[in-house]
Amino acid sequence: IEKETDHLFNLKFAAKELQRNSKKCDKEEKAEKGKVKQAIQKGNMEAARIHAENAIRQKHQSVNFLRMSARVDAVASRVQTAVTMNQVSKSMSGVVKSMDATLKSMNLEKISALMDKFENQFETLDVQTAQMEDTMSNTTTLTTPQSEVDSLLHEMADEAGLDLNLELPPGQTSSLASSVASTEQDELSQRLSRLRDQVS
């Protein structure tokens, strides 16, 4: 049980580390937004776009770290229940052995795979489990949605008090609210199609 308590501590520590990483990404996003505004004021649209892409990437990475933190925290709670009820099986102990190095790596893909193993163990133990959405499909992608980048450029231009004449796709208004809404809709459609691909 002492070993399990150590592993439990490591899980909780990893959840906090993931949360810290999320906050770091938030700070980076703000810094990149500031650079977008400066570049727009100087009329350097190429640099502005690069900083906007960086800002959007940091925003997505922040969300991914936050989601994984919640997932690890949920697993930690289930491990605690199993330890308390003396339900730690041999197979679960096997999963735990490879845990420490994986958690220290802060590699979202590896941590996600580890959480999958844990969740499978809990299913076999009949401990109530709430399967969280698999975040890995959009964790490893480095592409940035151009509509989000354009929206951010407009937002920073508005804050800088400048009019930005970017060529928007036909039918897309320049208002920030509608472009953000359409971006969210695009993301939802992509996520649904990915889920369909996984199921089929």
Q: Encode pLDDT of 167-182 as tens digits.
A: 545 444 444 555 555 6
Amino acid 45 reads M
pTM exceeds 0.75 for this model? no
Residue-wise pLDDT tens digits, 121-178:
776 554 433 333 344 444 445 566 788 888 888 888 888 777 666 554 544 444 455 5
* CA dihedral sign of residues 111, 132, 184, 161: negative
Domain definitions of the chain by residue range? 1-105
The pLDDT, as a whole number, for residue 63 is 93
Question: Which of 2, 13, 14, 15 shows the shortest CA–CA distance to 93?
Answer: 2
Which residues are within 8 A (CB) of 187 and not within 5 positions of it... i.e. 6 or more apart?
A: 145
